[in-house]
Amino acid sequence: MLTKETFIQLRDFIYERTGIYFTENKMYLMENRLVNRLNELGLSSFEDYYFYLKYGNEKTKTELLNLYDAVTTNETSFFRNPQQFDAFRTIVIKDYLENGQNTTFGLRIWSAACSTGEEPYTIAIVLLELMEYLKKNIPFSIYATDISPRVLESAKTGIYSEYSMRGVSDNIKKKYFTLTKEKNYKIKEDVKKFVRFDFMNLMDQEAYRLYRNMDTIFCRNVLIYFDEKAKRKVLENLYECLKPGGFLILGYAETLHQQRYGFRPLLFPGTIIYQKG
């Protein structure tokens, strides 16, 4: 059983490393999520698991990755909150066509906390569709990162169930996916080649160095698990990673309240996008 004291130790340990904050009413959720780790390691108590994490040897590093897999919530789907992709299509591309055509490297887009890949692949599909519609070539690269190795592996495989595809039209399914023997959908190489997946912990200050000069950052449905302090740290870093005038797209329920971190809110039907001032 997880005691309150160990819960607090584990909570603080997880928070320091990931930004994810388990409030006291989430004690049972934490217990549920970590019990498999104890079983797998042959440990008999949560106290032992805490000490294993905190004072372990080299093996602890691997266990940290398992811990990240266990404590993250990875719910996602293609075209999740479609108004945000409508807004992305409208303003980002308008801005790029008006101002950015001379950019040597094309559009740089980052899906920070990409989970199993539905978000970055949706971005690629939106851009491919747009290029076809405009009859223009817009060079672009998509960087997709997450803290959970398990979801990154699944994203690289790129095979999805009917449930993940619930927001996808038949036309898009036909164009960008192949049907597997098991009746799942596999993303085509023509889309996959635009997305680069990597491990990146949003709480790791150093890691942001690799993600500079972004035109747009999607950071959706992850900051809801963070407390204010961690959220602020991430937003300040994301701000630095954007080009001047670049756009930040947060989750549907995540607005920047009192503190806007230098971002200018832009209103669109059903959504708000933030622009670096």
Ligand X SMILES: C[S@@+](CC[C@H](N)C(=O)[O-])C[C@H]1O[C@@H](n2cnc3c(N)ncnc32)[C@H](O)[C@@H]1O
Which residues are near ligand X by CB under 6 A? 18-20, 72-76, 80, 113-115, 119, 146-148, 151, 201-203, 220-222, 251
| Closer Cβ to ligand X, 57 or 142, answer by number | 142
Q: How many CB atoms lie within 10 A of CB 219?
A: 20
Alpha carbons 85 and 144: distance in angstroms, whole number: 16
Q: How far is the CB of 203 from ligand X (least distance, A)?
A: 5
Only one residue has tokens 């809801």, namely 224
Beta strands in 211-262 (DSSP E): 214-219, 242-250
| Closer Cβ to ligand X, 6 or 18, answer by number | 18
| Closer Cβ to ligand X, 131 or 256, answer by number | 256
Q: Residue type at 235?
A: L
Q: How far is the CB of 198 from ligand X (least distance, A)?
A: 11
| Closer Cβ to ligand X, 47 or 63, answer by number | 63
Q: How far is the CB of 192 from ligand X (least distance, A)?
A: 18
Q: How far is the CB of 183 from ligand X (least distance, A)?
A: 23
Q: How far is the CB of 244 from ligand X (least distance, A)?
A: 25
Q: How far is the CB of 115 from ligand X (least distance, A)?
A: 3
For residue 247, what are the β-bridge partners? 216, 275
| Closer Cβ to ligand X, 75 or 98, answer by number | 75
Instruction: Please list the alpha-helical segments (H only) found in 106-227.
Output: 118-134, 149-157, 170-176, 189-192
For residue 271, what are the β-bridge partners? 268
Q: How far is the CB of 221 from ligand X (least distance, A)?
A: 4
Q: How far is the CB of 172 from ligand X (least distance, A)?
A: 17
Angle at 121 between CA 115 and CA 125, to 5 degrees: 155
Give the total residue count for the chain: 277
With a CB cutoff of 8 Å and minimum separation 6, the contacts of 214 are 108, 109, 110, 143, 241, 242, 243, 246
Alpha carbons 28 and 25: distance in angstroms, whole number: 8
Q: Which of 92, 121, 117, 132 is nearest to 273 (CA)?
A: 92
| Closer Cβ to ligand X, 19 or 246, answer by number | 19
| Closer Cβ to ligand X, 109 or 147, answer by number | 147
Task: For the chain, count helices (H), then strands (E).
Answer: 11, 10
Alpha carbons 71 and 166: distance in angstroms, whole number: 26
| Closer Cβ to ligand X, 80 or 192, answer by number | 80
CB-CB contact of 120 with 144 (8 Å): yes
